[in-house]
Amino acid sequence: MDHGMTEQLNVQQMAQRLMTADNILILCHKNPDGDTIGCGSALYCALKALDKNVAVLCSDAIPNRYAFTNAHMFKGEFEPQTVVAVDVASVQLFGENNGMTQFSRHVDLCIDHHAGNSGYADFTLLNGSAAAAAELLYEVINAMGVAITPHIADCLYTGLATDTGCFRFSSTTANTHIVAAKLIEAGCHVEELNTLLFDTKPRERMEAERIARNHLEYYLDGRCALIYLTRDEIEQSGVDPADLEELTSLPVSIEGVKVGLTLRQQPGGSYRISVRTAKGVDACAIARRLGGGGHSRAAGCELLGNLENAKNAILAEVEAELDAPQEEA
């Protein structure tokens, strides 16, 4: 993996650089998730505790469910001297709104857990085996000698829990649980956060899921399951399209299913296809054949044409992959 011209730092070195900096601007990635926002807010509080000028910048609006993190958003109140990115794997992910491009051109520090981090920052703390950037940032804040307040713990727990599907995803390690324990001991509101993050779904989301479940279809002797939503259905349900991400894990969760497909019609009429696979089946190989890409268990592609064409095209590739001779491990 090429990590560009960046210099790799360890936790102590990153803490040292943050402690000697001031007028610090923290950058989150676009379409912000719980990890980038939780880290932005936690680092904001930690640096504020050290009496520094600090603010957070994000190209997109902070979703309501993360409003409680209450980060101070940058409004030009100081001249940023140190720019630090949290949970951002590459420059493209900064986005272009809210004056982002002015600052994302030159990033001083980066704290990240994406193994593919492009190395765009001058100095990077990267740990690809951390389940969330928050898992790493917890160590950095400790190394800065700043107390983990209940609010900082809430922000870091949000990053840790959302990036792991509440400790369910395969990225979860012993250290992830150890950090969760430390955050609970530090006073994070684990009960309220779990309800907010995992058990609170908008009505519109429920309606879209109802429609998608009514469209559940099985193929290839039950080895493939497929759901879909047309543009009309998405619009009639009133769902925020960002809230549909989670649906993509539904078809592959059915017993016996090796490949789960979710087809969502885009505003232009094309179908965005999310491919999720059971262990041992390569999602990326399927998506790549149709011009897409991704990871081994989660990949995607986009197909022009109507629903029937899109289904037939993707199902043909699923069948080819499932019936391909298995490579030696």
Residues lying near Mn ion in the complex (CB under 5 A)? 35, 87, 132-133, 163
The answer to whether 39 touches 125, Cβ cutoff 8 Å, is no
The answer to whether 6 touches 124, Cβ cutoff 8 Å, is yes
- Binding residue (CB under 8 A) for a second copy from 78, 103, 123, 198: 198
The answer to whether 33 touches 5, Cβ cutoff 8 Å, is no
What is the rounded CA–CA span in Å between residue 35 and residue 39?
A: 6
Q: How far is the CB of 278 from a second copy (least distance, A)?
A: 8
One-letter amino acid for residue 264 of the chain: R
Stretch that binds a second copy, among 44-52, 92-100, 141-149, 196-204 (CB under 8 A): 196-204
Q: Going by DSSP bridges, is the β-strand pair 259-265/271-277 parallel, antiparallel, or unpaired? A: antiparallel
The answer to whether 123 touches 17, Cβ cutoff 8 Å, is yes
Stretch that binds a second copy, among 25-33, 144-152, 169-177, 267-275 (CB under 8 A): 169-177
Q: Which is nearer to a second copy, 256 or 269 (CB)?
A: 256
Q: How far is the CB of 151 from a second copy (least distance, A)?
A: 18
What is the rounded CA–CA span in Å between residue 91 and residue 76?
A: 22
Residues 6+ apart with CB under 8 A from 175: 130, 135
Q: Which is nearer to Mn ion, 95 or 251 (CB)?
A: 95
SS3 of residue 260 by DSSP: strand
From residue 42 to residue 61, what is the string marking binding to a second copy with x (rule CB under 8 A)?
Answer: --------------------
The answer to whether 287 touches 261, Cβ cutoff 8 Å, is no
Q: Which is nearer to a second copy, 99 or 280 (CB)?
A: 280
Q: What is the footprint of a second copy within residues 255-294 (CB under 8 A)? A: 255-256, 278-279
- Residue 163's binding partner among a second copy, Mn ion, none (Cβ under 5 to 8 angstroms by kind) is Mn ion
Q: Which is nearer to a second copy, 51 or 255 (CB)?
A: 255
The answer to whether 302 touches 272, Cβ cutoff 8 Å, is yes
Region of 274 (left: φ > 0; alpha: ψ -120 to 50; beta: rest) is beta
Q: If binding is defined by CB under 8 A, does position 221 make contact with a second copy? A: no
- Residue 180's binding partner among Mn ion, a second copy, none (Cβ under 5 to 8 angstroms by kind) is a second copy
The encoded tokens of residue 283 equal 């999602």
- Residue 35's binding partner among a second copy, Mn ion, none (Cβ under 5 to 8 angstroms by kind) is Mn ion
- Binding residue (CB under 8 A) for a second copy from 75, 105, 106, 213: 213
Summarize as ranges the residues that interact with a second copy (CB under 8 A).
166-170, 172-175, 177-178, 180-182, 184-185, 190-192, 194-195, 198-203, 206, 209-210, 213-214, 216, 218, 222, 249, 252-256, 278-279
